[in-house]
Amino acid sequence: MKLRLGVMGADDSLEIIQSVLPDFPEIECLPIVYWKEEDIVDLLLPHVDEVDMWLFSGKVPYALAKATERVQVPMAYVPHIGASLYRTLLHLSHEIGIQVNEVSFDTFSSDELEHFLQEAGIADGYSWLRHYEGAISATELADYHESLWREKKTKAAVTCLRTADLELKKRGVPSYRVLPTRAGVLSVLHMLLRTNEMLHFKDSQIAVQMMEIDPFRELAGGTFSTDEWQNAEIKTMEKLLRYTKYLQGSLKTAGPGRYVIFTTRGRLQEVTHDYKTIPDLEGMFGIRADLVTCGIGIGKTAYEAEIHGGTALLHAKERGTGNWMVFFDDKSVVGPLGRDEQIAYRYSSQQLQEVSRQTSLSVATLSKLDSILKKRGTAMINAHELAQHMQILPRSARRILIELESKGIAEVVGEESPNPRGRPRKVYKITL
């Protein structure tokens, strides 16, 4: 199956990329040329579902595409460092007679440029550099280069952005464009093919969905005969068999009210919309979502996936009936699915293992706390807020904070009064 690759770039960069693609019969290309940065997103969005990956000719179109958060497939761009820059500097010094310290640069970081000049054996360092993160306008870059040139601080500009190059030439500023090299394009294309192989492998990984369902809550009156009990279980199995067929998996029972479905990572990722939502069990299969607690496990083997599924189910049960959690093969936990407030945490952090040894708190609890703080963007939290995020009782949250405070990992930095008559809440600053 061919890799469907969307390729977006300026006209000259796109031409270089397309000249390399015939060497890759396993790649099917969708080329898109842009002339203005403000057009990139509008050109991209109609094709987001048509390709498996995106390749951009440079940092700016890549950053603009990433900022939309609409592209859910892997993206990459061709770097302009290395042979790309060496070719430009060679042309400047040997054919034009302009030295590195007489030129203004853009795009590169200072570390990148310094490292490159050292490797190239260029003794005179650069003097002028406009580094930027993410996207930037052609006008802003052109203004930077032009001002230096008009003040006679530079003799030329070296830019990675096609639109900035065109704008500088229009203003009469000597401008030299750093273009991708065929070798650079080849390297990125090989990386994308390896990534594609890895993703196909991940999609075919074993995934286990471990579910606990309480169908007996639907039985009228709260009392029922063994026949009614058995009928309820049979009906649940029939519904789950339809759901299992939808997952293209296999079903087995694991005790009263507990069921295990074996399927693939790719299929579960698809039906949960990248592990963000819960499938419409009630609408599609007649299974009440509020009766289902679920853990999804991903693993390199069926055994590992089943172990991870059981761990995920325990995390889901901590949060109550109706919750779904996922445990991945990299020891990270995500969930609850379908909730506005999701958290992701890991078991593998050495720092958190060390904190766990110092305290009576488990790595799982500390991982959740770490994830909550990162999501909030602050190290400050009170017990009430922690309880809400972790879905535990406030007194349990207070115990966690007091334990951290006793070991010097948390300190009280203030108090908050939720209302005039309420008891002030201590605000803790946590340093994990």
CATH code reported for the domain at 204-340: 3.30.70.270
Question: 113-123: per-residue pLDDT in tens?
Answer: 888 888 878 87
Tell me if domain 3-78+183-200 and domain 204-340 are identical in fold.
no
Mean local confidence (pLDDT), 327-353:
79
Determine which of 194-198, 216-220, 266-270, 390-394 has the lowest per-residue pLDDT on average: 216-220
- Residue 221: predicted pLDDT: 53
Q: Which two tokens stand for residue 118?
A: 């050292």
Return the exposure string of 363-384: e unless at least 16 CB atoms fall within 10 Å of the residue's CB, then b.
Answer: bbbbbbbbbbbeeeeeeebbbe
d(Cα 116, Cα 86) in Å, to the nearest integer? 9
The ranges assigned to domains in the chain are 3-78+183-200, 83-134+145-179, 204-340, 350-430
**pLDDT 10s digits, 135-144:** 889 999 999 9
Report yes or no on whether pTM surpasses 0.75.
Answer: no
pLDDT digits (tens, 9 = 90+) for 93-136: 888 999 899 999 999 888 888 888 888 788 778 899 999 887 88
Only one residue has tokens 């949060």, namely: 319
Query: Residue 144 and residue 129: Cα distance in Å, rounded?
Result: 9
Q: What is the per-residue pLDDT across 225-249, written as a single tens digit (0 to 9) for each?
A: 667 777 777 888 899 999 999 999 9
pLDDT at position 347: 65
Q: Quick: pLDDT tens for 310-321.
A: 989 998 998 888
Whether the pLDDT of residue 220 is over 60: the answer is: no
pLDDT at 152: 95
* The CATH number fitting domain 350-430, selected from 3.30.470.20, 3.40.50.300, 1.10.10.10, 3.30.750.80: 1.10.10.10
pLDDT, one tens digit per residue, over 383-405 is 888 888 887 888 888 999 999 99
> What 3-state DSSP class applies to 134?
coil
CA dihedral sign, ordered 49, 54, 58, 63: positive
Q: Which CATH superfamily is 3-78+183-200 part of? A: Response regulator (3.40.50.2300)
Task: Round to whole Å and give the CA distance between 57 and 234.
Answer: 58
Per the prediction, the chain carries an average pLDDT of 87
pLDDT at 217: 62
pLDDT value of residue 325? 93
